[in-house]
Amino acid sequence: MLKRHARAACTALAAAGLLLAGTGGATADPTPAAPPAAPSAAATLRTADAPPELLAAMQRDLGLTPTQAKARLAHEAEAGATAARLRDRLGAAFAGAWVDGADAGTLTVATTRAADTAAIRATGARAKLVARTLADLDADRAALDRAAGPATPVRYVDPRSNGLVVEETEAGAAAALLAVTGTDPAAVTVVRTAGAPRPLYDLRGGDAYYMNGSGRCSVGFPVTKGSVNGFATAGHCGRAGTTTSGFNQVTQGSFQASVFPGNDMAWVAANAQWTATPYVKGSGGANVQVTGSVLQPVGASVCRSGSTTGWHCGTIQQHDTSVTYPEGTISGVTRTTVCAEPGDSGGSYLSGSQAQGVTSGGSGNCSSGGTTFFQPLNPILSAYGLTLKVSGSDPGPGPGPGDPEPGGTWKAGTVYATGATVTHGGSTYRCLQGHQAQPGWEPPNVPALWQRV
């Protein structure tokens, strides 16, 4: 039935055509219509619809005129499409592509095969004949990646130079990497860099954070609570439920608990975008490692990191100090000769690599000098069940073959005050310096912290 109806329809259409022809009606043009032109890459990517905010930012940051900004988007779209087609055509000989010019009007495509240059130029692109294919360079970079360490944090292929770039944080680190991997030094450019990349968005002591989108304080010390990352800070910076954003104004987390006055302690739980690190922001922005929380004695040196005044040092003058602020009295803080200013609140105090506390308040400033007080960190860790983020803990010797497990009441993660007693391996120990226990700090391994009794 379907076939019969189709034939009938065709017959009717044919008859209609004859009727038109027989009565002087218009006849069909025997020349087939040209297919519609394919949209350009710029049309496909809708570069003409770029929002004004994007164009304005391009003008500001790239130094472009409005015309150049619009042209650049269109040229980049077309260059990407052209380069992709040429990569497919050149196959294994392809060695990379890039654009130049304020408006990205020049596309260059590199190849290792001289016979390809005419085809490249036929597209309107510049041709560059080079020695190494992109595949070869990628393979060399992969070999470097497998052997690289923290001292060579960045490695990439640079098609413009037809080579590799290795960034090093220590002199000689790149050379050692090339030697280990057997990479040709002639193919590599070494760049010295002051610091290595960090995971997006790190929690670091001394960095700024903002409360409810307005006031600013400073991160004390990054911590964890189970699988949650966060940081300890001053209680006067916010109350439970206060939301925070980071130094970069990215949504960060919220205060989980806060005490002020009485004490000056709080902690913030961060969202999954933020990673706790064992660092405090030091002089010039360098990372200073935190390895523990042993409270240091009066007279010891102490340095403070804050988002307003940065890195400043002094000495510990007194522990267990009481201070009365307009909001009330806090007790148990430590007095120091370190200066601070508004916005530094909550920031980190370090003695060597040992975390001491978070900035509470003070007087004076960092121009004429001043006195500040910090809330000791160990009570914050203990009160909220937090674990200080530390680097490089030594697991210690552990029991020997056939030895029984030590057992006892000592436990990593517990905050021990001076004078506290524990059992470990059948012996009793007394804490000599307040600290948060960590693997490797079992009482027999750290006589500076524990005394056998």
365 DSSP β-pair partners: 369
Instruction: Give backbone dihedrals phi and psi of 252, rounded to 5 degrees, phi first.
Output: -120, -55
Catalytic (active site) residue 258: no
- What is the CA angle 106-80-84, rounded to 5? 115
Q: Are strands 427-431 and 243-245 parallel, antiparallel or unpaired?
A: unpaired
**In the structure encoding, which two tokens stand for residue 424, read together?**
């470990």
- Stretch (H or E) spanning 303: strand 301-306
Q: What does DSSP assign to residue 165?
A: E
Question: Which residues does 1 contact at the CB level (< 8 Å), separation at least 6?
Answer: none
Q: CA–CA separation, 373 vs 360, rounded Å?
A: 6
Catalytic (active site) residue 345: yes
**In the structure encoding, which two tokens stand for residue 395, read together?**
């697991």
- What distances in angstroms separate CA 83 from CA 120, 136, 254, 381, one per listed residue? 9, 19, 47, 56
144 DSSP β-pair partners: none
DSSP helix/strand/coil, 368: coil
Set 202, 264, 293, 344: catalytic member: 264
Catalytic (active site) residue 236: yes
336 DSSP β-pair partners: 316, 372
Q: What does DSSP assign to residue 58?
A: H
Set 254, 345, 348, 351: catalytic member: 345
> Of the candidates 319, 315, 318, 360, which has an alpha carbon nearest to the alpha carbon of residue 340?
360
Q: CA–CA separation, 371 vs 359, rounded Å?
A: 11
Do residues 279 and 289 make contact, with C-beta atoms less than 8 angstroms apart?
yes
Set 140, 207, 218, 236: catalytic member: 236
Q: CA–CA separation, 274 vs 280, rounded Å?
A: 15
Do residues 97 and 108 make contact, with C-beta atoms less than 8 angstroms apart?
yes
Q: Ramachandran region of residue 162, left (φ > 0), alpha (ψ -120 to 50) or beta?
A: left
At position 57, the amino acid (one-letter code) is A
So which residues are the catalytic ones?
A: 236, 264, 345
